Chain A
Amino acid sequence: NAGVTQTPKFQVLKTGQSMTLQCAQDMNHNSMYWYRQDPGMGLRLIYYSASEGTTDKGEVPNGYNVSRLNKREFSLRLESAAPSQTSVYFCASSGQLSGLLGNTIYFGEGSWLTVV
């Protein structure tokens, strides 16, 4: 059982380049999320998808777009990368929306992105 798988693990981009982070889960979860983690700050939600076919903005959506391709896959796209987007990105999934009692969120292993 792979859980949540995200690619690539590491990426270096030049300012202005675009790229897509891929994420897939094999737990038949309805909800998927993209977070970023920066030094000295807690994880911050970029976008989420409560269920297949829906996406919504999180706390820090500017500069990003997402696609819920199907129930398994949720991608994050940087259209024009900026140095401020240098961060560690985590994809996550849960059976239901994160606030419901007893619901566990499962995280991927992270993608380290550097924009120079």
Chain B
Amino acid sequence: KNQVEQSPQSLIILEGKNCTLQCNYTVSPFSNLRWYKQDTGRGPVSLTIMTFSENTKSNGRYTATLDADTKQSSLHITASQLSDSASYICVVSVGRGANNLFFGTGTRLTVIP
């Protein structure tokens, strides 16, 4: 069964600290993996997208890693800011087509001053 699991479900960190969010998937055949940021009351916004041949991709203070062998991805946030408070969603794509995205339930990150 194709699944995407994220951990932790929620996380609270102090402003300025780093954190790492995890995504494990059982999706096959793997096409690509995306991380989205969803602010409260808003739509998801793309942070990164990686194919199986990419191990690391950065977007400012966000760095995503991918291990296609173990089917794991992580999103590392450096020097967190209050504006990083949001849900972070891992999305894995299977092959081609539109009905092929598998969404994780997200990690709710709260950054406190």
Q: Which A positions have Cβ atoms within 8 angstroms of B?
A: 4, 31, 33, 40-45, 48, 50, 56-59, 90, 92, 97-110
Q: Does A90 contact B95, Cβ atoms closer than 8 Å?
A: no
Q: Which residues of A contact B98 (CB under 8 A)?
A: 31, 33, 45, 48, 50, 56, 58, 97-99
User: B78-101: which have CB < 8 Å to A?
Assistant: 89, 93-101
The interface residues of chain A lying within 8 Å CB-to-CB of B102 are 42
Q: How far is the CA of A48 from the CA of B89 in the complex (A)?
A: 20
Bound: A45/B103 CA distance, A: 10
A103 to B50, CA, bound (A): 10
New contact pairs (15) apart from A41-B105, A42-B102, CB-CB < 8 Å: A31-B98, A42-B104, A43-B89, A43-B101, A56-B99, A58-B98, A90-B43, A97-B97, A99-B31, A99-B97, A99-B98, A101-B32, A104-B49, A107-B43, A109-B41
On whether the beta carbons of B97 and A101 are closer than 8 Å, the reply is no
Number of residues of chain B lying within 8 A (CB) of chain A: 27
**Complex: A99 Cα to B96 Cα, angstroms:** 4
B96 touches A104 (CB 8 A): no
Mark interface residues in B46-58 (1 if CB within 8 Å of A CB, else 0).
1001010000000
Q: Which residues of A have CB within 8 Å of B46? A: 104-106
Contacts of B100 in A (CB 8 A): 98-99
Q: Nearest chain B CB to A114's CB is how many angstroms away? A: 15
Complex: how many Å from CA A53 to CA B31?
27
Q: Using CB atoms, name the residue of chain B closest to A33.
A: B98
B96 touches A100 (CB 8 A): yes
Give Cα A57–Cα B98 distance, bound, in whole angstroms.
Answer: 10
Q: Inside 8 A of A103's CB, which chain B residues have their CB?
A: 49
- In the bound complex, how far is the Cα of B99 from the Cα of A59, in angstroms? 7
Nearest B residue (CB) for A90: B43
Cα-based distance from A57 to B97 in the complex (angstroms): 12
What 10 pairs across the A-B complex have the smallest Cβ distances?
A42-B103, A107-B43, A99-B96, A48-B98, A43-B103, A99-B100, A97-B98, A99-B93, A107-B44, A109-B43
